[in-house]
Amino acid sequence: MTDPNFETLLRSPLDDESESNGWGSAVLGLVGGGVAVVGLSFILGLWTTPTGATSTSPATDTLSSATNESVEAANRYPDGFTDVGGSVAMKPVAVVTGDTGFIVSFATAAGRGTDPATTPDPLGGRWQIESVDGSVASTTQLIYDRRHTGVIGAEFSGYPSEGDVIRMTERWDPGERAASLEVPFTGTPFSTTGAPELDFGNGVTLRLNRLELGRHLGQIAWSLSGASRQGGVAAFDVEIVNNEGESVGAYRSMPIPREPATAGDVGLFWDRGFNVHPDEGSVVRITATVMLVSPQSVDVVFELDSVPSGN
């Protein structure tokens, strides 16, 4: 895939979307559209390994095998992607400037021979920009696009100059943990009393600072303790159970990407039809699934001069 073709992908098909999610997220959405095509081609095996000529000579077979292994290693990721460890690679695909800073959008790709469905995307990382004048500045925040997972924006203050490079110093691997608890349910509107905690083991707990349930929507305010300084990404299933132990229905977390944190607010929605009322239940069963950040040190440099840019 050539750069002009890739840039064409960046310009379509989302240019005409009327919904705006800020200048950062909008561009990330366009980037994700192109990356989706790259990832699909990769999964379908379009990055294949050329095979050598067939021979009955054992020496030739050995040489052919060694050559194939070398080509396979070289083609482990799509062109332009750099191995950052953890069976994933990343590539800067756009640089977008705003009023007070700029965003470098990174796409991720799973390694060749790895099932992308079982290789979770990194939850983020730490980057720094190293200018030609010798100055170094770290990211001010990470930006995630809700339409395209696997695309992460690293935001910096100021503006990039020719010759600047981005250095990735830390990769945030996800470590999934889950825990549940039950509390009595008295009907909607409902709110918890106190601040129940879910124990994930190894000293990591999640506190439910607030749980509110309405007829079709709800809200959870949570906080993590005992986790790394980056925290994690939390998702919730809030099941309503009746006196017979049967499930009446459940509230689910709003399916939007979130930046890892040690505290947050999550919206909930009722996953059953309007003809089923949560008030038929008597117990609230809360299951929290947290992708805890597991920081891994890396040292990967990305050149910016050849990355498409825009305003």
Do 36 and 114 share a domain, yes or no? yes
pLDDT of residue 297: 94
In this structure, the answer to whether residues 227 and 213 fall within a common structural domain is yes
Peptide bond into 13 cis (omega under 30): yes
| Burial classification of residue 59, based on how many CB atoms lie within 10 Å of its CB (0-12 exposed, 13-18 middle, 19 or more buried) | exposed
Q: Are residues 252 and 239 in the same domain?
A: yes
Whether 177 contacts 204, CB under 8 Å = yes
According to the model, what pLDDT value does residue 258 have? 82
Same domain, 168 and 28: yes
Same domain? For 91 and 148 the reply is: yes
Same domain, 129 and 151: yes
Domain ranges, residue 188: 175-295
Using an 8 Å Cβ cutoff, are 199 and 228 in contact? no
pTM as predicted: 0.68
pLDDT computed for residue 274 by the predictor = 66
**CATH number of the domain enclosing 284:** 2.60.210
pLDDT digits (tens, 9 = 90+) for 241-290: 999 889 989 999 988 878 899 999 999 999 876 677 888 899 999 999 99
pLDDT at 222: 96
Same domain, 256 and 151: no
Query: What is the maximum span of the chain, computed from C-alpha positions, in angstroms?
Result: 79
Structural domain tally of the chain?
2
Query: Residue 19: what pLDDT?
Result: 38
One domain, residues 159 and 190: no
Residues 6+ apart with CB under 8 A from 234: 206, 222, 224, 253, 258, 264, 266, 288, 289, 290
Residues 49 and 143 in one domain: yes
Residues of the chain with pLDDT under 50: 1-73
Q: Is residue 13 packed enough to be buried (19+ CB in 10 Å), middle (13-18) or exposed (0-12)?
A: exposed
